[in-house]
């Protein structure tokens, strides 16, 4: 059996407030990296849900998030005529479009993001208690 | 030259039955991890095709997959007026929307997925013989 | 502090010519791998922007790229009525749909892609000077 020493999987708890919502989790990912003492390599951000996802997008103007969420809501209507009895198939589709997993570079102890990039937890069927797993 | 010892790339063969179809490959990924004896780290699932992808979504109610596939079919119509002579541009678009590659965490020998998460091979231009590559 | 020796983050500069455009960067990624002397493992391709992304798709018929770009343009209209004053919310949505980050397998010194797969930088708000970061 192979053991890659030092691999850490950190679980972060999140509370969402709306049905559709983006939460900036950049700081939490950076904290997890600092606590694990990672100098360089890859950082994996995984969302263990099927009606939520994770993405990277602009961290400056909050209107960007509003625009994305509003557009996705009209592109994938909740009442489209889905079979799934829970009534949240729109959220399952959005989750797969965003993706549940993100791999980001780390260099000299720093999470390497572009100047305007932030990491967003994408809630599509809240409000709920959620988790984000960060592997460093 | 650097050699990360123990890196294994396993090729799995898949046979799809329909033009648009999701196949649960969670068990195959877990088997590849067990055979490689991976204790912790990242597991990469790569689909080497351009009209198929890979995603994570609900593993409980099969209606979710039907809803996603039916919705994608109406969102991206096959006869939209595409230039590509093979007539499968809709499948190329769907493939890029899902993604061809997925990185997932492994901890204590276990593929770390959420309670309702399964890994799905996404066929968009079947039926065909396909492959999934799993790097551990 | 943990140090994974040999991790290299290479920055590649790109100049796009249109508002919406795909650029094949497969060769650049292969060159970065060769220069770093990577034998096996994962290769991370990260786009540090929020109105551009990265995807894998067909490398043979250029009509596929035209079809995808034209379809995305009509699916996500620039003048939809977005709030964001920069007028490029459509590009932010497309960026999250494609994703900013891609992890690919490397084996015996070769980037492992399928026969028809190429790596594409996805410009959605050009023309601009852009970067791609490659971690090996």
Cβ(C87)–Cβ(C120) under 8 Å? no
Strands B129-135 and A21-24: unpaired
Closest alpha carbon to A134 in A57, A43, A49 = A43
State the complex-level ipTM: 0.94
Alpha-carbon distance C13 to nearest alpha carbon in chain B (angstroms): 23
Chain B interface, best mutation among A41, A92, A124, by max B CB count within 10 A = A92
Q: Tell me how far CA of residue C55 lies from CA of A111, B9, B101, in angstroms.
A: 22, 21, 10
pLDDT > 90: what percent of chain B? Answer: 86
Nearest CA in chain C to A8: C2
Burial class, A2, CB count within 10 angstroms (exposed 0-12 / middle 13-18 / buried 19+): middle
In the three-class reduction of DSSP (H, G, I as helix; E, B as strand; rest coil), residue A14 is classed as strand
Q: What is the dihedral of CA C126, C35, A42, C106, to 10 degrees?
A: 100
Q: Across the interface, do B57 and A96 touch by the CB < 8 Å criterion?
A: yes
Q: Which residues of B touch C (CB under 8 A)?
A: 1-4, 7, 9, 42, 44, 46-50, 75-76, 80, 82-86, 89, 92-93, 95-97, 99-101, 103, 131, 133, 135
Which residues span the domain enclosing B77? 2-135
Partner residues linked to B134 by β-bridges: B10, B45
Q: What is the CATH number of the domain that holds A35?
A: 2.60.120.460
Q: How many domains does chain A have?
A: 1
Question: What is the predicted pLDDT for the residue at C37?
Answer: 86
φ and ψ at A87, to 5 degrees? 75, 20
Q: What is the pLDDT of residues C107-135, one digit of tens each?
A: 988 999 999 999 999 999 999 999 999 99
**Which residues in chain B are contacts of C39 at CB distance < 8 A?**
1-4
Give the SS3 label for residue B69. helix
Amino acid B40: pLDDT: 86
How far apart CA B60 and CA B116 sit, in angstroms, is 7
- Model confidence, pTM: 0.95
Query: What are the tens digits of pLDDT across the range C13-54?
Result: 999 999 999 999 999 999 999 998 888 889 999 999 999 999
CA distance A121 to A27: 12
């Amino acid at each position: 059996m192979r053991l890659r020493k030092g691999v850490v999987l950190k679980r972060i708890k999140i509370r969402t407030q709306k049905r559709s919502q983006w939460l900036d989790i950049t700081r939490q990912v950076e904290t997890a990296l600092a606590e694990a003492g990672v100098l360089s390599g890859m950082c994996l951000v995984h969302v263990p849900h099927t009606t939520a996802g994770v993405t990277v997008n602009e961290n400056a103007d909050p209107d960007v998030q509003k625009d994305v969420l509003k557009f996705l809501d009209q592109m994938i209507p909740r009442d489209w005529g889905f079979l799934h009895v829970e009534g949240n198939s729109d959220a399952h589709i959005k989750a797969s479009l965003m993706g549940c997993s993100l791999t980001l570079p780390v260099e000299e102890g720093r999470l390497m993001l572009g100047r305007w990039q932030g990491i967003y937890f994408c809630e599509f069927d809240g409000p709920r208690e959620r988790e984000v797993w960060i592997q460093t």
